[in-house]
């Protein structure tokens, strides 16, 4: 009988030890080096671009503003979690806005798109529940593409009608913040805000009025994006 009790007690003790070890392993996985790994994050949402100025059009100009309709941003990033609190990632995406108006242009049919390629540092703040706030910043370059089907701009030599497209590569910086809800150790959804700033893009343009080619330059771009995101860890 005593032997039987000792056997039952031993089994209970072993089960308790295994259960404790399992809980400890889960905590180590969540809080220690075993939580390291690669992840993919994708997102889409509305984007608003601040008004910019035209600083050059066949020579320096002033007083010409470019206003944009609300657009959208699509982002995709691949990164590595070094611990529960820090990750580094490479992000690419597209920001698109149609141009609402250009000062002095009676009819405008044009659009501006940016294709950033950024390296981000992300800081995570795990909470007791499944919510994880984060903040980060990044830098890199952006390909800025201007497409004009119809626009008229007043330059030093008079007004000029434009049509065509061109691209330029400029520097890009961004800051962002948000949160994600983790369903499990692999999948999460979230919401974030991104602020992107780029350098002053310039494009080669052709005036149909004078038959001359010249430079069109915009001031620095400033955009605000609100992104719904999905994250998959590997």
- Annotate 98-120 with DSSP letters as a single string: EEEEETT-SS-EEEEEEEEEEEE
Please enumerate in sequence order all residues whose Cβ is within 8 A of that of 156, keeping only pairs 6 or more positions apart, or say none: 57, 58, 59, 60, 61
pLDDT value for 141 = 98
Please enumerate in sequence order all residues whose Cβ is within 8 A of that of 171, keeping only pairs 6 or more positions apart, or say none: 139, 140, 141, 142, 198, 199
Please say whether the beta carbons of 54 and 216 come within 8 A: yes
Cβ atoms within 10 A of the Cβ of 136, count?
21
The pLDDT of residue 160 is above 90: no
Average pLDDT, the chain: 85
Cβ atoms within 10 A of the Cβ of 36, count?
12
Q: How far apart are CA 56 and CA 64, in angstroms?
A: 10
Strand 37-49, strand 158-182: pairing:
unpaired
For the stretch 90-102, pLDDT in tens is 999 999 999 999 9
Residue 153, burial from CB neighbour count under 10 angstroms (0-12, 13-18, 19+): buried
pTM, to two decimals: 0.81
pLDDT band at 14 (very low <50, low <70, confident <90, very high): very low
Residue 130: closest CA among 187, 52, 213: 187
Q: Which residues lie across from 114 on neighbouring strands?
A: 95, 144
For the stretch 172-200, pLDDT in tens is 999 999 999 999 989 999 999 999 999 99
The pLDDT of residue 16 is above 80: no
The pLDDT of residue 26 is above 60: no
pLDDT band at 9 (very low <50, low <70, confident <90, very high): very low
Q: How far apart are CA 167 and CA 148, in angstroms?
A: 12
For the stretch 107-154, pLDDT in tens is 899 999 999 999 999 999 998 889 999 999 999 999 999 999 988 887
């Amino acid at each position: 009988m005593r032997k039987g009790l000792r056997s039952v007690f031993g089994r209970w003790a072993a089960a308790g030890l295994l259960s404790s070890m399992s809980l400890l392993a889960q905590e180590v996985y969540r809080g220690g080096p075993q939580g390291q790994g690669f992840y993919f994050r994708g997102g889409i949402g509305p984007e608003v671009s601040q008004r910019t100025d035209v600083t050059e059009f066949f020579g320096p100009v002033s007083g010409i503003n470019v206003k944009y309709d609300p657009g959208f941003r699509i982002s995709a990033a691949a990164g590595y979690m070094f611990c529960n609190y820090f990750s580094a990632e490479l992000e690419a995406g597209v920001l698109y806005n149609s141009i609402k108006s250009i000062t002095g242009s009676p009819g405008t049919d044009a659009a501006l798109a940016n294709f950033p390629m950024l390296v981000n540092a992300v800081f995570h703040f795990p909470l007791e529940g499944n919510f994880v706030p984060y903040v980060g910043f990044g830098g890199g370059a952006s390909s800025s593409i201007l497409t004009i089907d119809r626009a008229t701009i007043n330059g030093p030599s008079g007004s000029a009608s434009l049509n065509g497209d061109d691209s330029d590569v400029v520097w890009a910086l961004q800051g962002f913040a948000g949160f994600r809800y983790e369903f499990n150790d692999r999948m999460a959804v979230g919401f974030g805000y991104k602020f992107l700033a780029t350098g002053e893009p310039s494009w080669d343009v052709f005036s149909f009025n004078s038959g001359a080619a010249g430079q069109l330059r915009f001031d620095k771009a400033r955009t605000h994006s609100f992104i719904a995101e999905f994250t998959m860890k590997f």
